[in-house]
Structure 1
Amino acid sequence: MLVFSTTATDGSDERCVSLLDELCESRFVKISRSPDVDHFRNIEGLGDASSIPLDTRGFAASFASLRLKSCSVYLQQTFPRILQMRYSTTGAIIGFTMDDAASLIVNGVEGRAPTLLLVKGTATCEIVEPQANLVALLNFDSIDDRGWPGEADSAQLISTLPDRCEALRVTVRDVLTLASHSPDTFAQPSVIESVEESVLQAVDLAMAAASPALEGKRLSLSHYLALVRKFDELVANSTGKTLYSADVARQLGVSVRTLHNAVVAIRGMSMHRYMRLRRLWNVRQQLVHGAPPQSIKAVALTNGFWHMGEFTSLYRDLFGETPQQTLLAARKQTNHSS
């Protein structure tokens, strides 16, 4: 589990949270805003992603993207969720939080700011975001001869110095603001090349002060990470079946305690809560797509919910509406489209 988790000390988090709202589309900056969790769209170009929401109240997810010469800059407002992300890049992806109140967990390793997430090549990350975060991502097409740490096809947490991390944040803010609000300046000859060089220099300085963080713990959690991925595969292939913890553990060749500890380490919650969350999300997806003509009760039962009062309460707490409201809205949308 790799975590960015810091405490605000100077009020900078409020400034950063509003940054994405202050940007506007231009011929260089593209902005995507998702109206609700059912229409959330992941950033294209970073890899394959799948999200399970932890809380949909006050949902507000969006991202801005900017293409430079050989680098893409992204600023993303996220939401509380479990994110399964398979990053893929020809060069490297650098990820970091844009404020000092962030909480982001990846692959079971907990870190403290100032930290950077460094991905080279293709790597799968299991991420838990217990709260909404403002995150910057830089995707470089190539990083030849820059001397950055890390091996090919790997993701790791890198510790750097606070001033180097803040300098990188400031550079990203300034670049996005210029491209958004002053596109004519941005379009001047050689400006894009100069901007990209500034971004690279900021990353170089951060990397020069970097060291791998919590490497021992990361290695000790590799077994848990592999186990949770097998667990997810088993759950995904068992839609419509009732899964019992003892049977699941037996199929995976471990004890129930070991499986529980693995899920807590990687997902940040108990095995039973995680399985219930996945089942609720499966119900949601079926209802959003209009569901078959059978009753909501039948959909709930298929996904392992036999106590309808409890099911309705759990569903409402997570999604802010009843299953009936979700299905009604989906069918109205289908009728309007046809």
Structure 2
Amino acid sequence: MGDASSIPLGVRNFAASFASLRLKGCTVYLQRTFPRILQVQYSTTGAIIGLLMEDEASLIFNGMEARPPVLLLVKGTAKCEIVEQQANLVAFVNFDSVDDRGWPGEDDRAQVIGTDYVRFDALRTMLRDVLMLASHSPDTLAQPNVIESIEESMLQAIDLAVAAASPAPEGKRLGLNHYLALVRKFDEFVAVNAGKTLYSADVARQLGVSVRTLHNAVVAIRGMSMHRYMRLRRLWNVRQQLVRIEPQSIKAVALQNGFWHMGEFTSLYRELFGETPQQTLSAARGLPKCTP
């Protein structure tokens, strides 16, 4: 459905799964995700509808908390910032084309819209039934007009759910759009200066905002403090360097990425990746891991 990259928030008990079902004019996807920061550019010739398949699921979408009953609606191409603090079960339907059905939103835009729980759950149940049918009785889909009937049923269920939609207030959306633009500039700055020690005041000055504004933007869009987010990115930079290149020493890589307290660095690294930096380096070199 587009181009995506993610920063996992942890690797312990890591698991993910994915299924897809191609019908005549749309594709249904089901995905078990993992805790992560996801940057994705959705792209569709028609429209994408996304929904959380479990009541306890939650995520932050472009700075807005999303819990059932909400729908993600994408038309055209739209860049999105998503934070999942937990693993979620998510379903998408990507329609090749959509006639004028009165769905809200503009082209090349993504939005989260709240809806009525009864209609939301009806749509969710229908998608489960469609996937179960394809999984257990695939021959049924080969019967005349079955696929067309399934697609019409899905469209009607979405029509009902969207009819009860209540988009976020315009003022809040405009404020979050400002934060989105700022965080994207922040990410670009961090990427360009990868491997350099960055200080919050210098970064904010380069972006033309206060440290407080930058912090508030990161909290809103990334769901964590600026300090934690920068540390997460630096830890992943260290791991990539240990895996992909032959560093002079682990300490040199840590210092290059702003970690001056080696004991704290090792603890943070082990907490995130479930192993020590030395174990990562040994595995990359094809050496047996040593248990500390």
Q: TM-score, normalised by structure 1?
A: 0.81
Match of 2:114 in 1: 159
Report the number of matched residues. 287
Q: Shift in Å at residue 326 of structure 1?
A: 2.1
Question: Of 47, 51, 54, which residue of structure 2 is paired with 1:92?
Answer: 47
Structure-2 separation of matches of 1:112 and 1:80:
15
2-structure distance, mates of 1:154, 1:317: 37
Query: Is 1:223 paired with 2:178?
Result: yes
Q: Which residue of 1 aligns with 2:290?
A: none
Please state if 1:310 is matched with 2:270.
Answer: no
Show structure 1 runs of 5+ residues with no match: 1-45, 334-338
Distance 1:66 1:236 in 2: 36
**Are the counterparts in 1 of residues 44 and 94 from structure 2 also a CA contact under 8 Å?**
yes
Q: CA separation of 1:293/1:258 partners in 2, compared to 1, >3 Å: closer, same or farther?
A: closer
- The amino acid that maps onto 1:303 is N
The residue identity in structure 1 corresponding to 2:130 is V
Structure 2 match to 1:42: none
Cα distance change on mapping 1:316 and 1:188 into 2, 3 Å:
same
Distance 1:55 1:167 in 2: 34
How far did residue 194 of structure 1 move?
1.9
Tell me, what secondary structure is at the counterpart of 1:221? helix
Distance 2:198 2:177 in 1: 25
Shift of 1:112: 4.5
Q: Give the partner amino acid of 2:94.
A: N
Which residue number corresponds to residue 133 of structure 2? 178
TM-aligned CA distance change 1:154 to 1:304, over 3 Å: same
CA contact (8 A) 1:109 1:214 kept: no
Contact 2:36 2:85 in 1 (8 A): yes
Q: Whole-Å Cα distance in 2 between the matches of residues 98 and 83 of structure 1?
A: 18
**Structure 2 equivalent of residue 321 of structure 1:** 275
Q: State which drifts further: 324-333 or 131-140.
A: 324-333
Q: Give the whole-Å Cα distance in 1 for the aligned partners of 2:37 and 2:169.
A: 22
Q: Percent of aligned pairs with the same residue? A: 80
2:137 partner amino acid: S
Q: Which residue of 1 aligns with 2:207?
A: 252
CA distance in 2, matches of 1:329, 1:181: 41
After superposition, give the CA deviation of every residue in 1:303-338 in whole Å (9 maximum; x if it has no partner). 2222221111111111111122222223339xxxxx
Whether the 8 Å CA contact 1:53–1:82 is kept in 2: the answer is: yes
Match of 1:272 in 2: 227
Determine the C-alpha separation between the residues in 1 that align with 2:51 and 2:171. 22
Q: Is the 8 A contact 1:146 1:204 kept in 2?
A: yes
TM-score normalised to structure 2 length: 0.94
Cα deviation for residue 284 of structure 1 reads 2.0
Deviation of 1:120 after TM superposition, in Å, equals 0.8
Q: Distance in 2 between matches of 1:203 and 1:248?
A: 44
- Where 2:285 maps in the other structure, the secondary structure is helix
Q: Alpha-carbon deviation of 1:171?
A: 0.9
Q: Output the amino acid matched with 1:315.
A: Y
Q: 1:77 to 1:111 in 2, by over 3 A?
A: closer
Could you tell me how far apart the structure 2 residues matched to 1:186 and 1:226 are? Answer: 44
| 3-state DSSP of counterpart to 2:155 | helix
Deviation at 1:210, TM superposition (A): 1.6
Q: Residue 192 in 1 paired to residue 144 in 2?
A: no
2:22 equivalent in structure 1: 67
Give me the whole-angstrom Cα distance separating, in 1, the residues matched to 2:15 and 2:171: 36
4+ aligned runs moved over 4 Å, structure 1: none
RMSD between superposed Cα atoms in Å? 1.5
Instruction: Indicate yes or no: 2:278 matched with 1:332.
Output: no
Shift of 1:223: 1.4
SS of the residue corresponding to residue 332 of structure 1 reads coil
1:51 matches 2:51: no
Shift of 1:133: 0.6
Partner of 2:103: 148
Is contact 2:36–2:84 with CA below 8 Å preserved after alignment? Answer: yes
Instruction: Compute the displacement of 1:293 (Å).
Output: 4.7
SS in 1 for 2:10: coil
- Counterparts of 1:66-145 in structure 2, within 5 Å, are 66-145=21-100
SS of the residue 2:194 aligns to: coil
Equivalent residue number for residue 292 of structure 1:
246
C-alpha distance in 1 between matches for 2:154 and 2:251: 54
Q: Distance in 2 between matches of 1:182 and 1:287?
A: 48
